[in-house]
Amino acid sequence: AELNMKAGKKSLDGCDHKTAYSYLEAALSLLPQQHWENHYDLSLRLNFLMAGAAKSCCQYDEAEQLLRGISGRTRCFEDKLPSYFLLSQIFQAQGKVVDAYNTCSFVLLQLGETIPDSVTPEAAKTMVEDTLKMYEEVYDGDWLERKMEDETLRTVVKFYGAIIFLAFLSRSRYTAICFICKAVQLSLQNGACVYTPLSLLQLMGFAMEDNHAANLYHIAKNALSLLERFDVGGDQISGVFMNFYGRIAWHYEPFQVCGDNLRRGFESGLSSGSNLGFHCAFHVIKTAIISGEKLDSLLKEIDYYLHLLKTYKSELMKNALLISRETVSALIDKGEATSIDAKVFNNSSQEPVFFHQAYRAFWSGYTVRCHHYFEKCSQLSGQYVQFNPFVLKFYHGLNSLDVLKKKKSHTTRYKEVVRDAISAMKDAAANSEW
């Protein structure tokens, strides 16, 4: 059993998940009766590795069954923690956001953390300001030399990193910000750990939605450099690249550079079996649409990601990719020959739908419809910010200018939009060197 387990672990490390599954399945079959009582450590490790291999092979039901079996056999709560984390990832991959959120929040409560029922915008803003102030006070050479030694604290930061996206989808943007600030503050108070770079980048991603100050970009760059201090796996690289190049860097760096690195993040996530790889895929397509990549090539790339989602039995980011595909198909031939029979499901986050409707209308010459949907995006500001506000204002401004030039309307609102867009472009130009 131990030899097969070692072979399975080696295959997992090499991202050969099917071979790993075979070895680990053989190892489990060789365990003696009452192995949990007589070979506890071996049984715990082997069952967890098997669950991981099953998850990577899209055997989600089997993986969940194995993890629940581990939870029922473990001798202490600490031994359950890896299983809970993997279980939350399985739920997320299947689109069971509430189940994933509840799993992470349960663990955090058991570890002594508090989970707020709701967070106000004012409270979230105060937490961000306090956390950034703490960063300025703490970040120096001495802090960089400190490492978070407490394993429980490292686990807390890890679960906060997992729950943030889930909170954004199932609770609110402000609840997600609350969790981010807690994770970063723990690192600033106790030293950095392998999960600190991701936490810092998650914080900067949200902070830059309201404040595009250059110092936030420098903090993000510092977080990226922290990776060199730790042995970071593909799942961490995927999350770090998604946050840095998908939410931060494109304020300052060329879209093409961001897109290339997001593809690297996708590949790292895919090879490690991380859900975050498909988050990178979404940002790849979003960046490619805005930066003007060839539509035919873009359509093929979206179909490739959708094929992988089907292969991996994952619902993660499927809706967002389908919305993007509808846009690309509409721009190629109005969907006459390039559309597919796949339904886009409505959900609580309407910003992608409104943006894509506005974007399609802009390039199709429907100025009134374009203005209508961009106005809806503006009304959602502060709730759902999946698209760069500069991009929204840029196209909204161009559309409004076109309306005014054609003398279709001289309403004050169109003129306000143009002035706001010009101001935003000046800010964007000040941030970027290229």
Q: Residues 146-177: pLDDT tens digits? A: 999 999 999 999 999 999 989 988 898 899 99
Q: How confident is the model at residue 144 (pLDDT cuts 50, 70, 90)?
A: confident
Q: Which of 93-102, 178-187, 273-282 has the highest mean pLDDT?
A: 178-187
> Which of 46-50, 112-116, 236-240 has the weakest average pLDDT?
236-240
Percentage of the chain beyond pLDDT 70 is 93
Cβ count near 49 (within 10 Å): 21
pLDDT at residue 98, as a whole number? 94
| Lowest mean pLDDT, pick from 132-141, 217-226, 227-236 | 227-236
pLDDT at 297 over 90: yes
Q: Could you tell me which residues come within 8 angstroms of residue 254 by beta carbon, excluding any fewer than 6 positions away?
A: 434
Whether residue 209 has pLDDT greater than 80: no
Half-sphere exposure of 31 (CA within 13 A, CB side): 21
Number of H helices, E strands in the chain: 22, 0
Residue 348: its pLDDT value, please? 45
Please give the Cα distance from 395 to 41 (Å, whole number): 59
What is the predicted pLDDT for the residue at 149?
92
What is the tens place of the pLDDT at every residue in 265-291?
Answer: 999 888 877 777 888 999 999 999 988
Gap between the Cα atoms of 226 and 216, Å rounded: 15
Tens of pLDDT, residue by residue over 189-201, are: 999 999 999 999 9
- Mean pLDDT, range 356-367, rounded to an integer: 93
Q: pLDDT band at 383, cuts 50/70/90?
A: very low
User: What is the model's pTM?
Assistant: 0.84
Is the pLDDT at 410 greater than 70? The verdict is: no
Residue 155 tokens, joined: 């686990």
From the number of C-beta atoms within 10 Å of its C-beta (0-12, 13-18, 19+), residue 322 rates as middle
Cβ pair 187, 196 in contact under 8 A: yes
367-379 vs 351-364: helix crossing angle, rounded to 10: 160
Rounded Cα–Cα distance for residues 434 and 432 (Å) = 6
Q: Which long-range contacts (CB under 8 A, 24 or more apart) does 18-26 make?
A: 18/57, 20/49, 20/53, 20/56, 21/50, 21/53, 21/54, 21/56, 21/57, 21/59, 24/49, 24/50, 24/53, 25/50
Tokens of 236: 């961490």
Task: Give me the pLDDT at residue 34, please.
Answer: 87
pLDDT digits (tens, 9 = 90+) for 320-340: 899 999 999 999 998 888 887
- Ramachandran quadrant class, 418 (left: phi over 0; alpha: psi -120 to 50; beta: rest): alpha
What is the DSSP code (8-state) at residue 336? Answer: T
Q: Is the pLDDT of residue 235 over 80?
A: no
143 burial via Cβ count (<10 Å: 0-12, 13-18, 19+): middle
Query: What pLDDT is attached to residue 272?
Result: 77
